[in-house]
Amino acid sequence: MENCTNLALLTDLYQLTMAQSYFQSGKFEPATFSLFVRAYPPNRGYFVAAGLKDVFDFLAGLSFNREAIDYLHSTDMFAADFLDYLKALRFTGEVWAVPEGRLFFKDEPILEITAPMIEAQLVETFVINQINLQSLIASKAARCVHAARGRTVVDFSLRRTHGIDAGIKVARSSYLAGCAGTSNLLAGQRYGIPVVGTMAHSFVSSFERESDAFRAFVSSFPDNSILLIDTYDPLAGARKAVEVAREMAARGQRLRGVRIDSGDLAALAREVRRIFDDAGLRDVKIVGSGGLDEYDLADFAEANVPYDSYGVGTRMGVSGDAPWLDMAYKLVQQNGRPVLKLSSGKAYWPGKKQLFRLVDGKRRLKKDVIALRGEVVDGGEALLQKVMEKGKTQGAYPSLKEIRERFLAEFALLDEKTKAIRDPQVYPVEISLRLKQLNDEIARHVTQTELEPGVYAQRELGES
Amino acid sequence: MENCTNLALLTDLYQLTMAQSYFQSGKFEPATFSLFVRAYPPNRGYFVAAGLKDVFDFLAGLSFNREAIDYLHSTDMFAADFLDYLKALRFTGEVWAVPEGRLFFKDEPILEITAPMIEAQLVETFVINQINLQSLIASKAARCVHAARGRTVVDFSLRRTHGIDAGIKVARSSYLAGCAGTSNLLAGQRYGIPVVGTMAHSFVSSFERESDAFRAFVSSFPDNSILLIDTYDPLAGARKAVEVAREMAARGQRLRGVRIDSGDLAALAREVRRIFDDAGLRDVKIVGSGGLDEYDLADFAEANVPYDSYGVGTRMGVSGDAPWLDMAYKLVQQNGRPVLKLSSGKAYWPGKKQLFRLVDGKRRLKKDVIALRGEVVDGGEALLQKVMEKGKTQGAYPSLKEIRERFLAEFALLDEKTKAIRDPQVYPVEISLRLKQLNDEIARHVTQTELEPGVYAQRELGES
């Protein structure tokens, strides 16, 4: 998809009007922008980094093709010399990023881009678009998988994700965060994610009788049938599935499971489990689906509702209770001068930064420290890695499986209270003394300069 | 985007496992599926149809390429003869649809596809994916534009939409529903939507002083500058913008406007308006942005907050208070036999249908009637139009501007109480007597057949 449309235009008009004004002001100095999330949505205590791979591919391939330039020309807003400049523009900057699959927290820099001002500014829209969506969904999926306490969770959300790109990225992000598979075949093809599925109500109602539908399906998939039993009545459906399972057993086959998609899902699971257990079919699995999210899954786990796995759709695929992150990409340094804005409620940390993670004696996550790029925090792991230099990626990109394993390993070391589905405990994130001092200093200067006009002394920031 | 990736695989695995079972059961008879929304999200009283164009393009181009077939083969789930069948599969069906830009209501059929079972089933995922998103956003955008009571509303959501496809479709859907433009250049290029923009905080902070930034920008865009004034302090920013506006006036230019993006947006607009009015700059417009949605816009309109236009972003672009519709695509007829399911809380109307809209003497919308396809409702306009036959589209597709005008014209005729931003009145939707009778009849038969095994008499439904 991404390699066909010229995505250079997938940006806001103001990125290009600002670019023209930078161009005409001769502003080609390096600028650093920092990406972070300002606040936790309700009931969130952590985020999972995802989306970086698409940002890489975008940055590495950034260029305005002829149609894009022609379109910009047609708006009558852009000067000919600026459009000539755009024609030749490629991304030549440096990118530091928290790797995909790592945990991150509120206010932490997860990506910092240093590039000539126009390049660094221009890519904002795409960077936020992809990392916001994918980190949002990875975080939501991590919650679903955690809430299920060992029961399998799979992604059934494609029909209600916000469009095509979201469908594919939700499958990848949710697999990255511990889902076992997806119903989305295109994501299966593209990313090698295991694909899973059962059957729809329409399959059942297309046959004269429900049991005809069951028999046709197990005949097509004798090793891998999960029968949907609630088209007419889930308990009657379960009894018909028992018949079919017995017929299969007589042929040396085994019914893999049944799915319940409506009604009182907790009560039905218990009744259906009893029907199968009473028939001696203890190994027939029960799959639950139908508007589920992590809150349901946590309640079911607490009450030992006998589901073996869950198909989670809409509410995970759109992060139903919190469909966006308050993610921002802010100019933090320009031509060696650290900067910030003072807008009410929207402050952030200036300068190029590094993020450190500290663990305790059992390697459990203890706290993070946001520091300046040149600082060292004793015993802290530096999370921002240089992943692009002069517009080129550094080293091979890890596989999705590796990213998933890295996520699962780190997630296991995060405190249960921070992972709580409801009212999680806030994870400690500290600010280094030097960063605090720098911030105070700039805020003082900006206040003097902008609110009571005075002299603003250009300063250089010591950095690595 | 869509014409590069083979979107045939953008579907759920179960669509293809069911297809194989249909194939192996010899089920090639025509089936009809119906698309509808089961319920209103909170505070919603109507929906706006959008997304049909993408469904057309998908259906017209549906085919599994070699890589898709190879991938399916690699899953070890599919038989060779079925994959051969898939290779040759094209969409050959008939589509009836409510045109884009028309209003629709809960339970109403907005799209009905009749095609050989496998084709009609397979396309479910894509059909819902696109029409759910686009109708969701068109409905949300209509609310925003309505709430603004004549003030201009533009789409600023691209950075927080769920991915690339959503970014483009949100721009189109929101324009269709009355937005005046979008910040999204790719959508501007693709759909001819007017593109709009101001400047970012980073532009301001990249200059030594805020006024330097303002001067640089108006020098680049003397006819079309909207200055962002809240980087440090909105009132100090407004006073600097006054200076710049006066300098421009001395040059025979005019500052178009200023934007406020944070803080108490209502109070600030009043103070900023006064600053400009006191300076004799009554024609400088004020743009509001920053987490706005229709609830804010309605409150601002009620309180006469002096904004001239709004940039609406995240909350519109993800439909923040209701990020999905409960949209379903259900088998309603199979080989001439109307069908339904009985699952609790998820019932729907069987058979091929038509939807009629009735107006009063002043052409205001009075009520809708859901009927069977062959029925005629006196004085009712039939909304489902045959738009595809034998897999080919019928006639030229209207332009986006025409669709937008059709929407605005019909929306003006919908009762204000139904359009209310909070607690709207339910629009009357009736079911025809014949449809009710058919439904009762099938429900009785299904209950007898599936709950107490008996004889199910195949019946033919009289239809057009």
**Chain A residue at shortest CA distance from B33:** A202
Beta bridge partners of A392: A389
Q: For the segment A233-272, what is each residue's pLDDT rounded down to a tens digit?
A: 999 999 999 999 999 999 999 999 999 999 999 999 999 9
Structure tokens at A37: 């999330």
Q: What is the largest CA-CA distance in chain A?
A: 90
Confidence grade of residue A5 (pLDDT, cut at 50, 70, 90): confident
Is the pLDDT reported for residue A8 higher than 90? yes
Residues of chain B with CATH 3.20.20.70: 198-286
Q: Which of B242, B271, B274, B257 is nearest to B310 (CA)?
A: B257
Complex-level ipTM beyond the 0.90 threshold:
yes
Architecture per CATH, domain A7-137+322-451, reads as Alpha-Beta Barrel (3.20)
CB B32 within 8 A of CB B340: no
Residue B132 with chain A: CB contacts under 8 Å: 159-160
CATH superfamily of B7-136+322-432: nicotinate phosphoribosyltransferase (3.20.140.10)
Q: Give the lowest-confidence range in A192-206, A411-425, B336-350.
A: B336-350
Rounded CA-CA distance A7/A13 in Å is 13
**Chain B residue at shortest CA distance from A214:** B21
Q: Which of B378, B349, B381, B351 is nearest to B365 (CA)?
A: B381
Residue A198 with chain B: CB contacts under 8 Å: 14
Residue B208 DSSP class: S
Is the pLDDT reported for residue A2 higher than 50? no
Give the pTM.
Answer: 0.95
- Residue B171: CB partners within 8 Å, gap ≥ 6? B155, B158, B182, B184, B187, B188, B191, B193
Mean residue pLDDT of chain A comes to 94
**Record: contact B71-A188, CB cut-off 8 A:** yes
- Would you state the pLDDT for residue A260? 98
Rounded CA-CA distance B377/B386 in Å is 18
**DSSP SS3 for B441:** helix
Q: For the segment A97-132, what is each residue's pLDDT rounded down to a tens digit?
A: 999 999 999 999 999 999 999 999 999 999 999 999
Rounded CA-CA distance A299/A302 in Å is 5
- Would you state the pLDDT for residue B62? 97
Shortest distance, CA A6 to any CA of chain B (angstroms): 9
**Record: contact A184-B12, CB cut-off 8 A:** yes
Mean pLDDT of A285-311: 98
Residue among B68, B205, B263 minimizing CB distance to A344 = B263
The enclosing H or E element of B210 equals: helix B210-220
Residues of chain B with CATH 3.20.140.10: 7-136+322-432
Tokens 């995240």 -> residue: B314
**DSSP SS3 for B157:** coil
Rounded CA-CA distance B318/A319 in Å is 10
Architecture per CATH, domain B198-286, reads as Alpha-Beta Barrel (3.20)
- Residue A2 touches partner B, C-beta closer than 8 Å: yes
Confidence grade of residue A340 (pLDDT, cut at 50, 70, 90): confident
**DSSP SS3 for B73:** helix
**Record: contact A197-B236, CB cut-off 8 A:** no
Shortest distance, CA B453 to any CA of chain A (angstroms): 9
Low-confidence ranges of chain B (pLDDT < 50): 1-3, 453-464
- Residue B405 touches partner A, C-beta closer than 8 Å: no
Structure tokens at A447: 């206040």
Shortest distance, CA B165 to any CA of chain A (angstroms): 5
- Residue A166 touches partner B, C-beta closer than 8 Å: yes
**DSSP SS3 for B30:** strand
